[in-house]
Amino acid sequence: MTDRRREGPKFSMATYSFATQTFPAAASDALAPTLANINGTIVAMKIDISETEDNITYTVAITDANAASWFSEASLADKTVHWRDARSDKNPRDADFNPIPVATTLTCTITPSAAPDAAPVGTKTATVAVTIYLE
Amino acid sequence: MATEDRRGEPGFPIARYEFSQQTWASGATAATTEDISICGTIIAITVKINNNTGDATLTLALADADAAAIYSQAAIPENATTPYDAESSKSTPDANFNPIPVNGVITGTFTPSGDPSTSGMTADVVLYVR
């Protein structure tokens, strides 16, 4: 977490990272880290997915304390740092999601499409790290 | 000019971050990189390239500390200072890229399209940050 917004406009952008999640080689259960006391507007998101033995994908969803679903994207490839932004002006690349106002706890649910190393069963785990950018 | 960030003072809402001048001698074609630390939103970029005898253009790429690709622009022309803008209103020229949130070190990668020949090549890249 790097949030110095209280120090003035020189530090207008804050970043918060959900705890990096490690997925066991042979399990496909969703994991759901949380961030408490988040306040601001999410204007971008970074999803860093490690290489997986079975080339699985992930679904990442962001919900608030009332279970309101603010963001969800499926089929996120492994071995990639995905960048998603919420702002787009006239006619560049479309934004990936709308700015998300937050004044509460956030939950990031990360669901693998399958076990990372299950066919045949191996030992290679996988990680997913999600960072949000807040104004 | 050089980097100037006075956003902490009233009346200075935009900061200017400048990479050091990138240079390539005749025959040089390798990409160069430089890190810069920024907190805010990149809303414009200008790129100045000299008039080089090899007519080389530039590809500029920005990535964050996790290697997330946050910006890329190819074929930036020589013999010009070219502005790229992230903001556009109705009936003005379109924006060139989406505003880029940053908070920490980003890496600029500067790749010439080819040999700049006898003149060599220079590139001056400025980031405007709100």
pLDDT in tens, B19-73: 999 999 999 999 999 999 999 999 999 999 999 999 999 999 999 999 999 999 9
Which DSSP helix (H) or strand (E) runs through B80?
A: strand B80-85
Domains of chain B: 20-129 (2.60.120.380)
Q: What is the pTM of this model?
A: 0.89
| Beta-carbon separation of A85 and B90 below 8 A | no
Q: Do A88 and B102 touch (CB under 8 A)?
A: no
Considering only CB atoms, B39 lies closest to which of A13, A46, A85, namely A13
In sequence order, the β-bridge partners of residue B33 are B109
Contacts of A44 in chain B (CB under 8 A): 100-101
Mutate to test the interface with B, among A89, A93, A96 (most CBs of B within 10 A): A89
For tokens 């040089």, the residue is B28
Catalogue the E-assigned strands of chain A.
14-17, 21-23, 34-49, 57-64, 69-77, 80-85, 100-112, 126-134
Number of Cβ within 10 Å of residue B24's Cβ equals: 22
Cα atoms found within 13 Å of the Cα of residue B92, Cβ hemisphere only: 10
Q: How far apart are CA B35 and CA B33, in angstroms?
A: 7
Give the β-pairing of B58-64 and B100-112.
antiparallel
**Nearest CA of chain A to the CA of B105: how many Å?**
12
C-alpha span between A91 and B88 (Å, rounded): 9
Which chain A residues have a beta carbon less than 8 Å from that of B94?
89-92
Low-confidence ranges of chain A (pLDDT < 70): none
Per-residue pLDDT, A11? 94
**Model confidence pLDDT, tens digit, residues A89-108:** 887 889 999 999 999 899 99
What was the ipTM of the complex prediction?
A: 0.81
Residues in A touching B40 (Cβ below 8 Å):
10-13
Sign of CA dihedral A39, A99, A10, B62: positive
Please name the helix (run of DSSP H) or strand (run of DSSP E) that holds residue B74, with its range, or none.
Answer: strand B69-76
**Residue of A9, A13, A92 lying closest to B98 (CB–CB):** A92
Q: Is the CB of residue A71 less than 8 Å from the CB of residue A100?
A: yes
Residue A111 main-chain phi, psi, to 5 deg: -120, 115
> Can you list the domains of chain A with their CATH numbers?
15-134 (2.60.120.380)
Residues of chain A found within 8 Å of residue B100, distances taken between Cβ atoms: 44, 85
Q: pLDDT tens digits for B93-114? A: 889 999 999 999 999 999 999 9
Q: Which two tokens stand for residue A77?
A: 């490839």
Rounded CA gap, B2 and B7, in Å? 15
Q: Which residues of B touch A40 (CB under 8 A)?
A: none
Neighbours of B102 (CB within 10 A): 25
The neighbour count for residue B3, using CB atoms within 10 Å, is 15
Task: Quote the longest CA-to-CA distance of chain B.
Answer: 47
Q: Output DSSP code: residue A66.
A: T
Interface touch A43/B86, C-beta < 8 Å: no
